[in-house]
Amino acid sequence: MKKILITGIDGQDGSYLSEFLLKKGYQVHGIVRRVAIEDPEHQLWRIKHILKKITLHSGSLESFASLFKIVQRIKPDECYHLAAQSFVSYSFEDEFSTINTNINGTHYILAAIKELAPRCKFYFAASSEMFGKVKEGLQNENSPFHPRSPYGISKVAGFDLTRNYREAYGIFACNGILFNHESPRRGFEFVTRKITHAVAKIKMGLSKELRLGNLNAKRDWGFSGDYVKAMWLMLQQNKPDDYVIATGETHTVKEFVKLAFSHAGLDWRKYVKIDKDFYRPAEVHILMGDYSKATKKFGWKPTVRFEELVKMMVDADLAIVQAKY
Ligand code: GDD
């Protein structure tokens, strides 16, 4: 039975990826922080339903020793490195810890694999944030990087580390350049979930307004459940490589807002207030990915489009809020 190690298993992507790999019959191990194991009810809500089927190990991206020990114990066949400080906005507030944790964490896990499990296939969660200041048009695997945040900078470094471990040490290491991907399991700080959760609370009479920043930013939003399949497919190819995973469509935050409110029968203009505190010191104005290499190499295509995604998230939040209050 193949052994899998997932860092960030308790996040949105980690939870969908675990479900997907369990169905394939893999033995799934995950690294989480000790605080999460001590408070599973709150911290492990996304993987509560599969806790009996997976094995959790406590470790920290900041500690090479802890990652080394876990890799030594498991000797995984595949490793998906998803853990990171992934909130772009927060990376401006705490740039040192974002850069240290994200870059060192990736470096530590790669170094441990090289030493202890050199045949382990490695997936790095790179990001469309690396493209940053893009001009109009689609971004592909050859588009230049111009990161606009400490988070983006940390992902460019992780991308380069992954490529270098492939080229210098022959590790089967792939970069998934994933564009924004969402779901009902998205964290509440990200704009999509912030919107859909607020819509549900407003609909139920529990809230009266939603404060947002830049409504003109454009993102290529896909469904996390689709994207984790692409992660796995990358590691099943004959050669390691880097791939863009996206939908090829771009929409403004305002379009997301309008659709989410109207799906719940609400007029967004009555509730949405612009708050400069949510603007970023440097913004990524537009992202739109060209995923044709992934289609050509392993037949990957997104199955959930923008409208379906927004409605899925609003419906899920309405059900959650209704059940809770
Ligand atoms: N979070 C947030 N909150 N974003 C807002 C708000 C707000 O109140 N108002 C406007 N926005 C805008 C942001 O300025 C940004 O342009 C856009 O909404 C999306 O913000 P996020 O949902 O926070 O995601 P992100 O695009 O910064 O980053 C996400 O996608 C990356 C891939 O491109 C994260 O998941 C990253 O970890 C990921 O790498």
Task: Give CA separation, 314 vs 17, 43, 266, in Å.
Answer: 22, 22, 12
Mean of the per-residue pLDDT values of the chain: 97
How far does the centroid of ligand 1 lie from the alpha carbon of residue 190, in Å?
6
pLDDT at 78 over 80: yes
Q: Catalytic amino acids?
A: 127, 129, 151
52-63 tens-digit pLDDT: 999 999 999 999
pLDDT at 304 over 90: yes
Considering the entire predicted model, what is its pTM?
A: 0.98
pLDDT at 277 over 80: yes
Residue closest by Cα to atom 4 of ligand 1: 191
- Encoded tokens for 184: 């009902």
Which residues are near ligand 1 (CB < 6 Å)?
Answer: 86, 88-89, 127-129, 179-180, 189-192, 194, 212-214, 217, 219, 253, 278, 280, 283, 287
99-152 tens-digit pLDDT: 999 999 999 999 999 999 999 999 999 999 999 999 779 999 999 999 999 999
Helix 306-324 crosses helix 191-203 at what angle (to 10 degrees)? Answer: 50
Give dist(CA 171, CA 33) in Å, integer: 26
How far does the centroid of ligand 1 lie from the alpha carbon of residue 22, in Å?
30
- One-letter identity of residue 10: D
For the chain, list the domains and their CATH numbers: 3-181+221-245 (3.40.50.720), 187-219+250-324 (3.90.25.10)
CA 227, chain centre distance (Å):
9
